[in-house]
């Protein structure tokens, strides 16, 4: 794919950015430290198989410097259909099943469009 102006591919497909957010239990919780480590490992485990997908343009896991309970994934996909295909793959389904019991709030996933 050849990029055109504005970072969009010349083919007319629009890249799809996805930002996922999760939060491990508060420090006061007895499960805090073990859950925090398990969330980090679960995030790292899903990166390699996701990067191998043909529609993945990049995927990275982040942890907040100021609040180590906060984790983020930023991924970029060829288009929304590539992300939807990713969401149904076994490694993604397994990731969601593994991470949901470890976090305080439902996993939040936002499809975003770069504006600047």
Structure confidence by residue, pLDDT tens digits, 20-45: 877 776 655 555 567 888 999 999 99
What range does the domain containing 102 cover? 14-112
pLDDT at 46 over 90: yes
User: Does any domain span residue 6?
Assistant: no
Residue 49: both structure tokens together: 């198989």
Q: Where are the beta strands (DSSP E) in 1-116?
A: 16-23, 56-63, 70-77, 108-112
Q: Which residue has the tokens 């970029």?
A: 76
User: Does any domain span residue 31?
Assistant: yes
pLDDT at 4 over 60: no
User: Does any domain span residue 3?
Assistant: no
Structure confidence by residue, pLDDT tens digits, 85-96: 999 999 999 999
Q: Give backbone dihedrals phi and psi of 105, rounded to 5 degrees, phi first.
A: -125, 160
User: Does any domain span residue 29?
Assistant: yes
User: Does any domain span residue 18?
Assistant: yes
Residue 102: both structure tokens together: 């470890």
Structure confidence by residue, pLDDT tens digits, 56-112: 999 999 999 998 888 999 999 999 999 999 999 999 999 999 999 888 888 889 998
Residue 86: both structure tokens together: 């990713």
Total domain count, the chain: 1
CATH of the domain at 31: 3.30.70.100
- Contact predicate 35/41, CB 8 Å: no
User: Does any domain span residue 97?
Assistant: yes
**What is the reported pLDDT for 35?**
83
E strand or H helix at 86? helix 80-87
User: Does any domain span residue 2?
Assistant: no
**What is the reported pLDDT for 103?**
86
User: Does any domain span residue 53?
Assistant: yes
Q: Which of 44, 97, 41, 104 is nearest to 70 (CA)?
A: 104
């Amino acid at each position: 794919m050849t990029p055109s102006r504005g970072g969009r591919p010349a083919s007319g497909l629009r890249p799809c950015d996805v930002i996922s957010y999760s939060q491990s239990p508060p420090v006061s919780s007895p499960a805090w430290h073990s859950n925090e480590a398990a969330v980090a490992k679960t995030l790292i485990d899903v990166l390699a198989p996701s990067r191998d997908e043909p529609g993945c343009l990049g995927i990275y896991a982040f942890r907040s410097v100021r609040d180590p309970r906060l984790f983020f994934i930023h991924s970029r996909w060829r288009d929304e259909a590539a992300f939807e295909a990713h969401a149904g793959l076994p490694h993604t389904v397994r990731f969601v099943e593994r991470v949901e019991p470890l976090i305080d709030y439902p996993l939040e996933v936002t499809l975003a469009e770069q504006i600047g």
